[in-house]
Amino acid sequence: MLFSGKALTVQMLDNGIAELKFDLQGESVNKFNRQTVSEFSQALDAIEAADGVKGVLLTSGKGVFIVGADITEFGDAFSAGAEGVADLMNQNNENINRLEDLPVPTAVAINGYALGGGFEVCLGCDFRVMGEGAKVGLPEVKLGLIPGWGGTVRLPRVVGVDVAAEWIAAGKEQKPAAALEAHAVDAVVPTDKLKDATIKLLERAISGELDYKANREIKKSQIPLNDTEALMAFFTTKAFVGQQAGKNYPSPVAAVESIEQGYKLTRDEALKIEQEKFIFCAQTGTAKSLVGLFLADQAISKVAKGWEKKADKPIERAAVLGAGIMGGGIAYQSAYKGTPIKMKDIDQKGIDLGLNEANKLLSKLVDRKRLTPVKMGEVLNRIEPTLSYDGFDNIDVVVEAVVENPKVKHAVLKEVETKVSEDTVIASNTSTISINHLAEPLSRPENFLGMHFFNPVHKMPLVEVIRGEKTSDSAVARVVAYANKMGKKAIVVRDCPGFLVNRVLFPYFAGFSMLVRDGADFQVVDKVMERWGWPMGPAYLMDVVGIDTGVHAESVMAAGFPDRMGKNFTAASDVMYEAGRYGQKNNKGFYNYEQDKKGRPKKVATEESYELLKPHVAERREFEKDEIIERMMVPMATELARCLEEGIVDSPAEADMALIYGIGFPPFRGGIFAWLDSIGLDEFVKIADKYADLGELYQPTDRMREMAASGITYYGNK
């Protein structure tokens, strides 16, 4: 053994090959934390000092190669400024350069994931062999960053500028076929033959059959592009990437600029350019927010896994009551992820609608080559349509997804409770109705809770798991486990009108209603909020949700929180509802809707909406952009703070992730609480106080004022 540490080892194999194996103790995956980076340096010292080393083989002792840097170390390093960022990056950049400059050939056996820094180490090797199930990629842009250990320098020299820019700017994982076609790897082999195949390739290089020095020279030299080729390549690429990424996500363009400014330079000179760009990105608010979201996502996943471990039995058979679009979406998601599900309705038309929804979603996957027709058949076979309760005594969880009406739900829930076993969990996919209220007619309320999916089910990651006063931990654990199995992000919240997401969304809509009432143009409000980062403005969002659905939910919220959410004026949504303009569902709402070339609804401005609103709103006037943003966002922020203080949600991270996964809150802002921390609660209180005359929704809580006065933040003073 040449070297033995807690993150990697080096031992001599036959034929003079030194195997450098990454195997980080106490972790399920390998990652570049400071310990791994330090031991990598020591391992290279040992290899350089050893006699008889003819080649170096890089392997992993885990099911994946290396998943990248340890993101948990970014916060302290980034907060230390440019020097802190450079300090975090320098040693491993030196390591990879040393690996690349060894006087013997190097080859890596890529198993599982080699992402970010893991792939950059692979690019530092002379030869790369990939297992059939492996994936490679440079996903740093998803954290608001660019590759920082040579990715923008080596990848374009290996695969060409165009492919490298595409891979890095998109941040997508690449499968073996794509990696081989791009020449990012030299071979793809069955995983069980990976190590042997890589050794054989390395032996060919040792014998002189393969010219490893030629490969190395390409990565250390300038990229052979003339000025005209470079101008065309980079001008077009930057324009496309900038348009796709948008102004709030600067890192994809910075990555292309790193390639552009380094293509005429040698490796070491180009690496300096990359570091400058990395440091720039690391200091942006976008990177801070996205890194924070990554850590928050890990935190909520850990909580969900903790609940799953408490489940006293697995969910092996499920059922959904009420087919239709929502029921069909739930059935599809359950079946697609492997859990057989009964789909019950009282009408064959509902069954047909649900089956058609599942079939449509699966057909799209087949068309995109993400699913074979055989696999599609297997998924459909896991969905059992039924008009009766036959077999419900053998079901582990029932999801009720009938019409959003308390009386109907009461009747259905009371009935299904008599058809299932005593320990079956029953969950209501309600968006607003109190779980405590729905539990009233049930004889086993401890087995009842909410399981609120967001529409469309297959796209929206969030599931709110709502516990009522009598819901047992066992029921919560089983439903969270089921949501995890369905590939969803489960966040446990407590019962109240609207639960978490809708309770917070409707104050946002209230802010919109008051703006329109006071003379704002709803199209202008939409554009301002979209530029602020929302995927769609409030009027457009109402049309997509369904104005009839929104008006109903708003009435529930007003009844639950009359002081804040009751209103004494006719809201714009009420006007549209009374006029029969329900949004996309009947092709007319705030906007009219036509089909585009792909058959998707396309919004079209119409004067009819303005004419309908005229009798109910003030004369139209211009509002400053900042006033629109403030009047929209203050009610949402104050209500979310109340939810945290009341224990509706357990942590700022869970609250922020719920809004990002549930309604598309701008990720680059990090979530509501992260946004409040970024602007400062003292500043937020000043903003809110400007609008005190608009009502209680604009009143910061006492706790917010205390935090503002004391300099306390939601995520800690970092």
Q: Tell me the mean pLDDT in the region 128-143.
A: 97
Torsional class of 587: left (φ above 0), alpha (ψ -120 to 50), beta (otherwise): left
Q: What would you measure as the largest C-alpha separation in the chain, in angstroms?
A: 90
- Would you state the pLDDT for residue 717? 59
User: Rounded to the nearest 5 degrees, what angle is found at the Cα of 380, between the Cα atoms of 377 and 385?
Assistant: 145
- Would you state the pLDDT for residue 419? 96
- Would you state the pLDDT for residue 596? 87
Would you call 460 helix, strand, or coil by DSSP? coil
Active site residues: 452
- Would you state the pLDDT for residue 718? 45
Positive/negative CA dihedral, 240, 241, 244, 247 = negative
Q: Are strands 106-110 and 17-22 parallel, antiparallel or unpaired?
A: unpaired
Asked whether the predicted pLDDT for residue 156 surpasses 90, the reply is: yes
Give the pLDDT confidence of 23-55 residue by residue, as tens digits: 999 999 999 999 999 999 999 999 999 999 999
Q: Tell me the mean pLDDT in the region 61-84.
A: 93
Q: Tell me the mean pLDDT in the region 408-417.
A: 96
The residue among 108, 101, 135, 145 whose CA lies nearest residue 123 is 108
Burial (0-12, 13-18, 19+ Cβ within 10 Å), 343: buried
Least confidently predicted of 120-129, 235-244, 473-482, 580-589:
235-244
- Would you state the pLDDT for residue 153? 97
How many angstroms separate the CA atoms of 32 and 92, rounded? 9
Give the pLDDT confidence of 283-336 residue by residue, as tens digits: 999 999 999 999 999 999 999 999 999 999 989 999 999 988 899 999 999 999
What is the band of 230 on the pLDDT scale with cuts at 50, 70, 90? confident
Cα radius of gyration (the chain): 28
